Structures are given as C-alpha cells and as structure tokens.
Amino acid sequence: MTSDQHIPGQKGSLRPSRRSIIKAAGATALATSLGFATAGHAAAEDDIAATRDVLIVGAGFAGITAARELRSRFPKLKIQILEARDRIGGRTWTRAFAGEQVELGGTWVDPKQRNIWREVQRYKLELTEDAGPTRAIFPANGGFASFAPEEAFARQAELLTPLFDGSQQYFERPYEPFYREDLLNPIDRMSLRDKLDQLKYSAADEAWVSATTGGYAGSSTTGSLSQLAQWWALSGWNYEGYLSVNTWRPKVGTAGLLKAMLADADATLRLNTPVTQIADDGKRVFVRTAAGQTYTARSVVVAVPANVWNTIKFSSLPSEFGALSTAGTGVRTAKKAVVHVTGKDLGRFYAEAPEGSPISLVVPFSERSDGNIIITFSVDPNLDVNSTAQMQTALRGFVPDLNVVSVLGQNWGGANYSLGGWSFRKPGQLTGPLRTVQRRQGLITFATSDIASGWNGFMDGAIESGLAAAVQTAEALGLA
Ligand SMILES: Cc1cc2nc3c(=O)[nH]c(=O)nc-3n(C[C@H](O)[C@H](O)[C@H](O)COP(=O)(O)OP(=O)(O)OC[C@H]3O[C@@H](n4cnc5c(N)ncnc54)[C@H](O)[C@@H]3O)c2cc1C
C-alpha cells in the first residue's frame, strides 16, 4: 500500500491551494538546482506545495518516538512519516509462527532500560516473563555437554566478569559515556579480542564466553570492548543484571507497543516509500523518494539505521556520517530464527557455542506436546536461517537427535532497509564519530538506536535517540 494512512485525529487537507502552487513553482526550481530531477514528475509540484513541518524517514522505534514526542509538545505540527517497507517496526518484527506470537528482531524489555520501561508503564503493557532454562548446553571436550543452568551460569559469570574490570571507573555514569573520557579513550581503542588476549584464557574457557564476545559482537576482532562494557555498566556492573535484560516481553508484541505510540503521534504515515535523496537549502528540506516524488518539510528526522545512511544521497554531511555507515554499526551478519523442534527429553534447553559456529545462541521459548519452540541467533554469513535442513544440521551440533519441523528466520544484514541487525560498535566508534552524528545538521537530525548514548543496540536506545531528535527538531523549527 502506498497511499497515506491518516492516523485518527489528523486534521487538514494536503490538497494544494492556488497560492501554494505558485510557491511550489519556486520550490521546484530550487529543488532542481539542488540536484533533484523533479521535471517530468506530475506528483512533484503537488507534493512540494504541501510542505510539512516535519518529515520523519523511517517508522522504527526511533522515528515513531520522535513523531509522538513532537506531537505531544506541539499539537499543531504537520508531521509525516515516510517508511520504505510495507510495515512499521524496522528491526522489530512481530510475526505468527506455529501458533505462537514471536519476534524476529527486538523482543525483551527491562526496568533497567529506562526509556522503553517508561513506554511499558505509559501504555500499561502486560508482560510475559520467559522462564529460565532447565538445562544449559555449553562447549566441552571439542563438542558440547549439558549442565545444570546454575552451574553453567556461575562458571560463565566468573569468566565474563574480568573483561569489565575498571568499568565502574571508566563508565562511572553509564548513560553519560564521556563522563570519564580520559579513562575511556584507551579502552575504546580495544577490540574484545585484545581484551581476551590480555586475559590469556585457555581455548576451553574462552569458548564459554565467546557466544557473547564473538556472537553478540559479530566477531571478537571487530566488536569493541567498550560496547560490551557499557551494557555491563548499564546493567549494574554485574552478571545477574546483564543476563536479566532478556526476560520480559510485551504480551502485545513490539508491534502492539509501536501501534499505540503511532496512534498518539497522530501523524500521516506513508508505507512503501523508500527515500533516496535529502537536501537542505537552509530554509526547507527536500526529500526525494524512489518513486520520484519530492516532499518538502521545514525539518527532517532521518530515522533509518546507520548502516543505511550511505544508500541515501545527502546534499552535504560531515565525513563522520559516511565513514560510520561504511564501517557499519549494525552487525552485518546478524540473523535470528524461531524454530519448531522435536526430540527426546529436550527440556527447556539453552545453548551457547564458540565463535565461528553456525548458531551462537539458543534460547528456549515454549515447550509443547508437539515439540519445543526455540529462538536461535547466528552471525554465520553462510547459514540460511530459513532452511529446515541447514538449521537441523546446525542444531544437531547441540542436540544430536533433534529434528526440525519448521523454521521462520530473518537475515537482517541481507534486508535492504536494515543492512545489519542489532548495533555493536567497533573500536573507536564511541569516542570517534558518535558525538558528531548525534548533532543536528542544519534542518536535518538523525535518530536511531545505533547512535544512542545509552542502550544503543536496544529498543531503549532507539527511544532515547528519537527523544533527542525531537528536541533538536524543535530547535530547527525555532520552537525550542
Ligand atoms: C535479531 C535482533 C534481536 C534484537 N533483540 C533485542 C531485544 O531483545 N531487546 C531490545 O531492546 N532490542 C533488541 N534488538 C535491537 C532493536 O530491535 C533495535 O535496536 C531497534 O529496533 C532499532 O530501532 P531504530 O528505530 O533505530 O531502527 P529500525 O528499527 O531499523 O528502524 C528504521 C526504519 O527505517 C526504515 N528505512 C530504512 N531505510 C529507509 C529509506 N531509505 N526510506 C524510508 N524508510 C527507511 C526501515 O524500514 C525501518 O522501519 C534486536 C535486534 C535484532 C536485529
């Protein structure tokens, strides 16, 4: 669907008046001079005539938060959201699978994540608490063995904790990562590999943490120590806090929460509308879509993933934007799949694998009379997470007699409008480009979890960034 969805409460017509058409002619010329090939597109002048106050590109958590926040502060603003896909949610995606409501992207929320938790409370969301595993499968003797969860997690806590020595000092204020920049600078230059090398773990010991250092990070050589240490600090500088952030999920799914936020945003949403070009002439912003339409606005929030920035042509931006987008923050090989499995005495099994394995992590979801539903995470570029046969082979590494009945997977790096999964910064990305890309660029502001100061890589970070973008947009509009 490509027509505008007028969210309840949206007033006013977008039909151009005679005066606005005359203005539009001038704007068309300007757009052309900025490099926009508007001529020949019948829709262009109408669209230019209907200048919005704010255009938001991208309807994920960051974009929808920015829209709702602007609406709540400035009820009269004309706000339009342009979304490339045929759905909202971006890297969150609530789906149905084997009779269950599942998530192919962001899932869990936690009281330690203050921005998403505010939303949980605001919309009085009921939560499901995911029960812990009844057995934990970890690397042992070149293969895998099953352990009591308490035993496995106690050993992992012992091995993981030393990675973050000093983080209480260098991340004394975890939401203000630069508070002790003097201490942070050398840490931010380190990869997780550098830290593991310092710790000199045996291969057997390292295998017990490498689903985190290799899986979460995409790879231990590209993932930064400061990234994991900041999540550790935000979790209360301890293992229990860190592990517990993956416990609660909204019963309405992430889609239910986003719909509630979007209704309050009272914005016009246009789906199936990828944006390809954005230019700012100092007075207005011109936004060009893949279908050749030009929208204008007094201010724009670009709420697409950082990995996607380079697919949009901007009139001018500091070099940090292009460099960060090229290096990437979203893990490019991130994949998630929900899998229906059968087998003898499966139990609610949890599994972690060494770096380089096809599946890094398995989390139990539900136990049923017809088998188990499990959630799997992978950063293996070659694994097809929608192939029953490949998933069965990969999962038999953990449980040899397991059968896969069906799978539903998502390769986030292969998805055009994501080009990566959860974000995980690389060495230097925190102390390097972050502050520049967080700053408003003329009439354009960027918002995404990938550039949050706190829980980047989580929905919480997307909300933080959307809120910050709303403040900066108000400044751009002269309203702050
Ligand atoms: C597998 C996986 C598991 C995760 N698990 C968790 C979890 O349990 N808890 C948690 O808090 N977080 C989790 N996350 C992270 C969380 O989902 C993201 O941090 C968050 O959803 C990102 O929101 P965003 O608004 O920054 O970006 P996105 O959600 O990516 O939104 C950007 C939007 O922009 C649109 N777009 C892109 N290009 C264009 C264009 N050219 N024109 C118009 N629109 C465009 C996209 O279609 C998308 O809708 C997970 C992520 C993944 C991938």
Q: Tell me which of 81, 459, 463 to substitute to probe ligand 1's pocket, judged by most ligand atoms within 8 Å of the beta carbon.
A: 459
Q: Say if ligand 1 is within 6 A of residue 458 CB.
A: yes
Predicted pLDDT of residue 22: 41
**Per-residue confidence (pLDDT) for residue 34, from 0 to 100:** 53
Angle made by CA atoms 249, 358, 92, in degrees to the nearest 5:
30
**Quick one: pLDDT at residue 480?**
84
CA-CA distances (angstroms) from residue 377 to 108, 209, 260, 384, 422?
14, 15, 28, 12, 11
Ligand 1 neighbourhood includes 105 CB (under 6 angstroms): yes
pLDDT at 32: 54
CB environment 292-302: b (16+ within 10 A), e (fewer):
ebbbbbbbbbb
CA distance 362 to 370: 19
Between the CA of 470 and the centroid of ligand 1 the distance, in Å, is: 18
CA 92 to ligand 1 centroid distance, Å: 6
CATH architecture for segment(s) 94-131+331-411: Alpha-Beta Complex (3.90)
Residue pair 322/413 in contact (Cβ under 8 Å)? The answer is no
Q: Is 60 in the pocket of ligand 1 (CB under 6 A)?
A: yes
Distance CA 213, CA 160 (A): 9
* Tokens describing residue 378: 């992978």
Q: How far is the CA of 94 from the centre of ligand 1 (A)?
A: 12
Residue 375 near ligand 1, beta carbon < 6 Å: no
Using DSSP, state whether 444 is helix, strand or coil: strand
409 Cβ below 6 A of ligand 1:
no
User: How high is the mean pLDDT in each 10-residue block of the chain (480 residues)?
Assistant: 39 36 47 48 48 96 98 97 98 98 98 98 97 96 96 97 98 98 98 98 96 94 98 98 96 98 97 98 96 96 98 97 98 98 96 97 97 98 98 98 98 98 98 98 98 98 98 96
DSSP H/E element including 56: strand 52-57
* Whole-number pLDDT of residue 36: 55
The residue ranges of DSSP E strands in 281-402, in sequence order, are 285-289, 294-302, 313-314, 335-342, 349-352, 361-368, 371-378
207: left (phi over 0), alpha (psi -120 to 50) or beta: alpha
Indicate which atom in ligand 1 lies nearest the CA of residue 308: 38
Task: Report the atom number in ligand 1 closest to the C-alpha of 59.
Answer: 49
Query: Which of 92, 143, 467, 142 lies closest to 255 in space, CA to CA?
Result: 92
Tell me how long the chain is: 480
For residue 420 and ligand 1, the question of a CB distance below 6 A is answered with no
The residue whose CB lies within 8 Å of the most ligand 1 atoms, and thus the one to mutate among 380, 458, 460, 463, is 458
CB of 117 closer than 8 Å to CB of 110: yes
Give yes or no for a contact between 403 and 309, defined as CB atoms under 8 angstroms apart: no
Evaluate: CB of 412 within 6 angstroms of ligand 1. Answer: yes
Lookup: tokens for 330: 């979203």
CATH code reported for the domain at 5-90+253-329+424-476: 3.50.50.60
CA 50 to chain centre: 31
Q: Is 337 in the pocket of ligand 1 (CB under 6 A)?
A: no
pLDDT of residue 14: 30
Which residue minimizes the CA distance to atom 17 of ligand 1? 106
Q: How far is the CA of 9 from the centre of ligand 1 (A)?
A: 27
Instruction: Find out whether the beta carbon of 448 lies less than 6 Å from any atom of ligand 1.
Output: yes
User: What is the dihedral sign for C-alpha 259, 469, 58, 382?
Assistant: negative
Sheet of 135-140: strand order equals 143-147, 135-140, 349-352, 361-368, 371-378, 335-342, 403-411
Break the chain into its structural domains and give their ranges: 5-90+253-329+424-476, 94-131+331-411, 149-242
Which pLDDT score, from 0 to 100, does residue 396 have?
98
pLDDT value at residue 31: 53
CA of 15 to the centre of ligand 1 (A): 33
Distance in angstroms (rounded) separating the CA atoms of residues 277 and 32? 12
